[in-house]
Amino acid sequence: MDGCSRSPRERFPPLTASTEGSAARGLAGEVSRRRTFAVISHPDAGKSTLTEALALHARKISEAGAIHGKAGRKSTVSDWMEMEKARGISVSSTALQFNYRAAGSDIDNVINLVDTPGHSDFSEDTYRVLTAVDAAVMLIDAAKGLEPQTLKLFQVCRHRGIPVITVINKWDRPGRAPLELLDEIEERIGLTPTPLFLPVGIAGDFRGLLRRGPEGAAAEYIHFTRTAGGATIAPEESLTPESAEAREAAAWTTAAEESELLSATGQDHDQEMFLAGQTSPVIYASAMLNFGVRQLLETLVELAPAPGSRADTGGSPRTPQDPFSAVVFKVQAGMDTAHRDRLAFMRIVSGEFERGMVVTHAQTGRPFATKYALTIFGRERETVDTAYPGDVVGLVNATALAPGHTLFVDKKVEFPPIPSFAPEHFAALRARSAGKYKQFRKAIDQLDSEGVVQVLRNDSRGDASPVLAAVGPMQFEVVTARMQGEFGVETQLDHLAYTIARRTDADSAPELDRQRGVEVFTRSDGAILAVFSDKWRLQYIQKEMPKLTLEPLVAAAD
């Protein structure tokens, strides 16, 4: 196959000043140099450490925080909540933007990396992020292989047509055989892995990477040297296959033979199949030691797609060259304790954004001024004057905006809303002090608009004790921690014996509300939900009262 006869750089050369010409100064040139992606993984696969390692290699930070492992490490640059720092996990999504110039290129690519929550309880937040990216990096633990949360998130990528690059992480620790992990990827998710690099040395003895050339031939040996605690970029040495064999002996021979075997089974990179979601380029790495991180960045620049078209609610494509439009995928407050502001993260879909421009909010038809616009790097922020399709921009104190909302100029465009997941955990929340009721209401409204939890209300419980509905119980911990830390409101959480929710309507609600083990609420978006004690109660009511409206909500695994 001709598409596999050259190295990735030869097949997909990076943009240079000579190849771009004057287009580099226009919208098309700006779009072509942007890469917007998310990292998806099971908890503890090393996602935040990889995020930080990427920023280190892009010279955005000078030293990695993950020096001594989770138990005693500094908090990573993308983890800003106190809960995240204390637990060493990510419970919210954050956006990082930085430039990266690939080796041999004269162009700085703009990398928009949206870090996602690292716990399955926050899969709804991760789903929102995946509506805003053009590619995903699937991070797999070398010892554990594919895990449930990774599988669920991959299915979301497949459903949305997002191409996936696979990184097998923690190769510096004992783990499974490289080909065994590749077989598992193909067998369990039907994605053909096509390694661009193979490890030299077994898991736990990571010496370097073999870069695969035409027909699986070993093209280069990249040898890494460890730095103290992995705090700085690992020095690399490039060796010819002959020199590699002389230095590494059996370890190199094994890697070279595995590369040829993969080629014989058709596991060489093909760009069209990758973009179609049929194959996944694979890189073996150690984010903790910064081994393989540069190779991942170069692969993203060379192979990941630039921003493309997005379908509006009518199914018509909105191209990057169309007038300005953007979709809000995340609303977050409390990122800056000094300012206590509220940020709406928007992914620019089309056109050029200029700070101060007046856009239209599609959901209300009202004008919206963009005077306070920021690019984000963890908790750090800088004012942005211009931005382009693929960029993620934070709008400050955008109280009218919520996830799924559209902003535009010129002719109206509206993108499909982001669905809310079916909650499985329910709890009533109230302020411990009646004197804090005003702050309590304000905090609940803010967390609701951010999508931290779903807030349900009915007349019997009133506004003083709304019901929180969540995909996972850790969402409740975020609510209570932020209520205390940001609003000074101490709360009491009473868990309710409901496990399942269904959408209903005004005609069915009165009858459902009379049933034992059922309660009816109105969600903030106006949806009427009936919650049930268990699936058997739901099945009984469906059987006995088939005319009642009970529609399934979107499940977290969908």
Which residues are part of a known binding site for GTP?
115-119
Find the angle CA(89)-CA(57)-CA(61) to the nearest 5 degrees: 65
Dist. CA 521–CA 178, nearest whole Å: 51
Question: 108 and 101 in contact (C-beta within 8 Å)?
Answer: yes
**Cα–Cα separations (whole angstroms), residue 81 to 46, 301, 333, 488:** 18, 30, 11, 16
Helix (H) or strand (E) holding 166: strand 164-169
Please tell me the distance from the alpha carbon of residue 408 to that of residue 367, in angstroms, as a whole number: 10
Two tokens, residue 396? 């400050």
275-300 burial: b if 16+ Cβ within 10 Å, else e: bebebbbbbbbbbbbbbbbbbbbbbb
Helices (H) and strands (E) in the chain, counts: 16, 30
Alpha carbon distance 77, 115 (integer Å): 11
d(CA 327, CA 549): 32
Compute φ and ψ for 39, nearest 5 degrees. -105, 125
Binding site residue list: 115-119
The CA distance from 77 to 70, in Å, is 14
Gap between the Cα atoms of 394 and 404, Å rounded: 15
Which has the closest alpha carbon to 282: 158, 184, 400, 402? 184
Question: With contact defined as beta carbons under 8 Å apart, do 82 and 75 qualify?
Answer: no
Q: Are 368 and 407 in contact (CB under 8 A)?
A: yes
Q: How far is the C-alpha of 557 from the C-alpha of 514, rounded, in Å?
A: 31
